[in-house]
C-alpha cells in the first residue's frame, strides 16, 4: 500500500490530476482556477500541465459557467466546475436546479450530464459575508442531483475521482476549514464507495453523526466524552444525497442514542431529515429522541462571532448528556 501524507487541498489536486490523466474529456472550469490555481490552490499547476483548453479561467459569471458546462456535457465532455465560495453559487442556482437537475429526466434518460460542481463551504476561516455558508440542503432537496462531502484527505482524493466518473451531476461540497490539516492518502487503494456512510470511531453509548468539517468536531467530542466514561460511536455521512442509512441505523440500534451535528442552520436541514428517518426506522431501538446540534437559524454572523454560531465539542457534549439523561 502506497501512503502519502498531504492536506485535503493537495489530495483534491491529486484526485483531479488523476481523473484528467485517465480521461481526456475531463475539463476544469472556474474563476481564477488556471494561472492562479484557485483561491485555495486546489487546481494549482493543472493549467500548466494540461493546458488552457482543459483548465479554463472563466468570466465572473456563475450562471454562465454552469450553462456552458451543461452544453459541453451534452457533447461528451465531463466538466468539473469550481465555485469560488459557497455564497457565490446562488447566481447559478436556476441553472443547477431548473436545468442541470432535470434535463436527464426531461429527456427520459436519453442524455446524461456528467458534471461535478465543486463548492468550498462552511465556516471556521474568519471570512466575510457570502464566504462562510452551508447551502447543502438546497441541493439535497433537489431531485436529480447527487451531493457528497469528504471529511478527510483520503476521501477527497477518491471521492472526487468517483464523482467525475459518475454519469449524473454531482454537487461536491468541500469543507474549506479542512483544506489545510494533513492526513494519510492511500494512493493505490480505493476508499469507501461514493455514496456510503462510514463508522470512523466505534462506541457503545451514543451515536454521533455528521458530515464534512463537523466530523472532526464529533471526533473531538467523542474523545472528551471517553475521558468522562461515555463511549461514543461516530458516523461520517459522506453522501448527503442519497444517504446511506445502514451504518447509521446499525449504530443507533446498538447504542440507543443519537446526536446529529452540522454547521448549517437546523430548520429544514439535512440533520432534520436524517433525524426523522432514524426515528421512523429505528424507533423501538431508541432510548431517547434523536437530538440535533446546528448553526442557528440566522444569517452567518461576522467572523468574530463564528465561534458562538458554529457547533463545537462542548455543545455536542451537552447534547450527549441530555440524550443519556432521558
Whether residue 313 sits in one domain with residue 213: yes
User: How much is the pLDDT for 150?
Assistant: 97
Alpha-carbon gap, residue 275 to 97, rounded angstroms: 25
Contacting residues for 98 by C-beta, under 8 A, at least 6 apart: none
Asked whether residue 87 falls in the same domain as residue 180, the answer is yes
Tell me whether residue 169 is in a domain.
yes
In a domain, 191, yes or no: no
Please give the distance of CA 258 from its chain centroid, rounded to a whole number. 21
Distance CA 207, CA 252 (A): 6
Band (pLDDT 50/70/90 cuts) for residue 124 is confident
When divided into structural domains, the chain yields a total of 2
How far apart (Å, rounded) are the C-alpha atoms in residues 170 and 32?
A: 21
Q: Judge if 214 and 317 occupy the same domain.
A: yes
Residue 119 lies in a domain: yes
> Using one digit for the tens of pLDDT, what is the confidence trace for 205-219?
999 999 999 999 999
Q: How far apart are CA 156 and CA 215, in angstroms?
A: 14
Considering 132, 159, 186, which residue would you say is the last residue of a domain? 186
**CA dist., res. 149 & res. 173, Å (int):** 5
Judge whether 65 and 81 are in contact, CB under 8 Å. yes
Where do the DSSP E strands lie in the chain? 3-7, 26-30, 55-57, 78-82, 116-121, 146-148, 170-175, 182-186, 198-201, 206-210, 232-236, 239-241, 258-265, 291-295
Catalytic positions: 131
Cell for 67?
450553462
Residue range 215-261, pLDDT digits in tens: 999 999 999 999 999 999 999 999 999 999 999 999 999 999 999 99
SS3 of residue 262 by DSSP: strand
What pLDDT shows up at residue 310? 94
Enter the pTM of the model: 0.95
Start-to-end CA distance of the chain, whole Å, equals 46
Maximal CA-CA distance, the chain: 60
The reply to whether 144 and 224 lie within a common domain is no
Choosing from 186, 218, 234, the residue where a domain stops is: 186
Answer whether residue 193 is part of any domain.
no
Task: Write the CATH number for 74.
Answer: 3.40.50.970
Does 287 lie in the same domain as 157?
no
Q: What is the CATH number of the domain that holds 306?
A: 3.40.50.920
**What is the per-residue pLDDT across 278-300, written as a single tens digit (0 to 9) for each?**
999 999 999 999 999 999 999 98
Same domain, 157 and 277: no
* CA-wise closest residue to 132 among 236, 264, 271: 264
* Domain extent at residue 243: 198-324
**Tens digit of each residue's pLDDT (9 = 90 or more) over 163-205:** 999 999 999 999 999 999 999 999 987 767 999 999 999 999 9
Q: Are residues 271 and 181 in the same domain?
A: no
In a domain, 17, yes or no: yes
Amino acid at each position: 500500500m502506497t501512503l502519502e501524507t498531504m492536506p485535503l487541498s493537495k489530495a483534491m489536486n491529486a484526485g483531479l490530476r488523476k481523473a484528467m490523466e485517465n480521461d481526456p474529456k475531463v475539463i476544469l472550469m472556474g474563476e481564477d482556477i488556471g494561472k492562479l490555481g484557485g483561491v485555495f490552490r486546489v487546481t494549482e499547476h493543472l493549467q500548466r500541465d494540461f493546458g488552457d483548453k482543459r483548465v479554463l479561467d472563466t468570466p465572473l459569471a456563475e450562471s454562465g459557467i454552469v450553462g456552458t458546462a451543461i452544453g459541453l456535457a451534452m457533447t461528451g465532455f465531463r466538466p468539473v466546475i469550481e465555485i469560488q465560495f459557497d455564497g457565490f453559487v446562488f447566481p447559478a442556482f436556476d441553472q443547477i436546479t431548473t436545468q442541470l437537475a432535470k434535463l436527464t429526466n426531461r429527456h427520459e434518460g436519453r442524455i446524461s450530464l456528467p458534471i461535478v460542481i465543486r463548492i468550498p463551504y462552511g465556516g471556521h476561516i474568519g471570512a466575510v459575508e457570502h464566504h462562510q455558508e452551508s447551502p447543502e440542503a438546497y441541493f439535497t432537496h433537489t431531485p436529480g442531483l447527487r451531493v457528497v462531502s469528504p471529511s478527510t484527505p483520503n476521501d477527497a482524493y477518491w471521492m472526487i475521482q468517483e464523482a467525475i466518473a459518475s454519469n449524473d451531476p454531482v454537487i461536491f461540497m468541500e469543507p474549506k476549514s479542512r483544506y489545510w490539516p494533513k492526513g494519510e492518502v492511500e494512493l493505490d487503494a480505493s476508499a469507501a464507495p461514493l455514496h456510503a456512510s462510514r463508522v470512523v470511531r466505534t462506541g457503545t453509548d451514543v451515536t454521533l453523526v455528521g458530515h464534512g468539517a463537523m466530523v472532526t468536531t464529533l471526533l473531538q467530542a467523542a474523545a472528551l466524552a471517553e475521558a468522562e466514561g461515555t463511549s461514543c460511536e461516530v458516523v461520517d455521512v459522506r453522501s448527503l444525497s442519497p444517504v446511506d442509512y445502514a451504518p447509521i441505523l446499525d449504530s443507533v440500534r446498538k447504542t440507543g442514542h443519537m446526536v446529529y451535528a452540522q454547521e448549517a442552520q437546523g430548520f429544514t436541514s439535512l440533520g432534520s431529515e436524517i433525524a426523522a428517518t432514524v426515528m421512523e426506522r429505528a424507533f423501538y431501538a431508541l432510548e431517547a429522541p434523536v437530538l440535533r446540534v446546528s448553526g442557528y437559524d440566522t444569517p452567518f454572523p461576522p467572523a468574530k462571532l463564528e465561534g458562538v454560531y458554529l457547533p463545537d465539542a462542548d455543545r455536542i457534549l451537552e447534547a450527549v448528556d441530555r440524550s443519556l439523561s432521558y
